[in-house]
Amino acid sequence: MLAFQHNKREEQSNEKQIQNGVNVVELFTSQGCSSCPPADALLSEVKDDENVIALSYHVDYWNYLGWKDPYSKKEYSAYQRDYATELNSGVYTPQMVVNGNKEFVGSREKTLKNSLINKSNVTALPAPVVTKKNTSVDFSYALNEVKDFDRAYALLLIDDETTAVAKGENARKQLRNTNVVIQRMAIDKNTPNGTQSFQLQTNSKTDYKVAIIVQDKDLEILAAGISVTG
């Protein structure tokens, strides 16, 4: 009887997780921004939470302040501007966007925690199957359960990295960043299942993750999944 009750509770817990979906937290940040380290730390706090996918996009528009963020890319700044259009917000750092439909200052812990309490309609995708080779990270994906989406992306992430910043607003600081997006690849919506590869410049011992996000035309996230490679 006790075993039956225990199994029943497990089933109810699993059903609750499925019903709640997954929350995708996207942080737009920069190593050249003195206001960003608290938001980076907050993202690190929630990245391993159940049903949370945390992503860190480093923008390039603060590089002129004296420190060129090694993870910054113009395409991530452009992605943030797209959100600004859809969410009627400004372009600033640190900015968090949850599930593609809510934005706020990225260091506001209470706002983030309240956002994660709410039920999510984002479908949890099967975790990508990932294989790290000498100069590539290979992965498979399955989007067949997602209907009527506009775009899908695969993201290559660095799990955890600390950088010694020599110049700029964060000069002489050791900055820790987590789940840093270093590559972003569009997935053909006409090929909902398949395999792809991220190419690496060198044979790296870095721990990588691969995340998949699926969005509608307004950038709201419909589905997401994440996996870890050794």
Q: What is the pLDDT of residues 26-81, one digit of tens each?
A: 999 999 999 999 999 999 999 999 899 999 999 999 999 999 999 999 999 999 99
The CATH code that applies to domain 23-229 is 2.60.40.10
Residue ranges covered by each domain of the chain: 23-229
Per-residue model confidence (pLDDT) at position 205? 73
Per-residue model confidence (pLDDT) at position 118? 83
pLDDT at 14 over 90: no
Per-residue model confidence (pLDDT) at position 18? 43
pLDDT at 13 over 50: no
Q: What is the pLDDT of residues 170-201, one digit of tens each?
A: 999 999 999 999 999 999 999 989 999 999 98
Site of tokens 């002129």: 64
Per-residue model confidence (pLDDT) at position 119? 87
pLDDT at 9 over 70: no
By mean pLDDT, which of 6-15, 83-92, 126-135 is the weakest? 6-15
- Sheet of strand 52-58: strand arrangement: 102-105, 95-98, 23-29, 52-58, 173-186, 151-165, 208-215, 221-229, 123-124
DSSP letter for 126, please: P
Helices 109-117, 37-46: axis angle to 10 degrees equals 30
Q: What is the pLDDT of residues 102-127, one digit of tens each?
A: 999 999 999 999 999 988 999 999 99
From 229, 189, 218, 227, select the one nearest 83 (Cα to Cα).
218
From 163, 148, 184, 4, select the one nearest 76 (Cα to Cα).
184
Per-residue model confidence (pLDDT) at position 17? 40
Full 3-state SS string of 22-82: CEEEEEEECCCCCCCHHHHHHHHHHCCCCCEEEEEEECCCCHHHCCCCCCCCHHHHHHHHH
CA distance 197 to 131: 9
